[in-house]
Amino acid sequence: MAAGRRIDVEEVGDVTIATFVDKKILDENNIQQIGSQLFALVEEDGRKRVILDFSSVEYLSSAALGKLITMDKKVKASSGKLRLCSIRKDIYEVFAITKLNKLFDIKDTQEEALQGF
């Protein structure tokens, strides 16, 4: 299957903002592609400061959480920083229930995520 673009990448200064394109991050193939595209930001492009913007995301499964955890590890391993932002209430609940809100640095808006980053 051809790998479609699953994230929009934008640069603000030395910060990379990756915005998810999909409303539903559920499908196994999509999740694999999202993982590869996210990891490439760190492993191939050497980006150190990454913000993941969830404003379009309406659904998220535990398999997607797994990719985010791996992304966090990769960013930390390269001495970078990862922030998550614009997570709607239902989705935030998924993070809170699994206590991943403690693992990730989560901000309400993209502006807030950019501040002091």
List of residues contacting another protein (CB under 8 A): 26-29, 58-59, 61-63, 65-67, 69-70, 72-73, 90, 93-94, 97-100, 102-103
Give me the least distance between CB of 111 and another protein, in Å please: 27
Give me the least distance between CB of 11 and another protein, in Å please: 27
For another protein, which is the closer residue by CB, 11 or 66?
66
**Structural contact between residues 54 and 20, judged by C-beta atoms closer than 8 angstroms:** yes
d(CA 51, CA 72): 11
d(CA 99, CA 117): 23
For another protein, which is the closer residue by CB, 14 or 28?
28
| Residue 101 CB coordination number (10 Å) | 16
Give me the least distance between CB of 72 and another protein, in Å please: 8
Among the listed residues 24, 17, 27, 78, the one whose alpha carbon sits nearest the alpha carbon of residue 52:
17
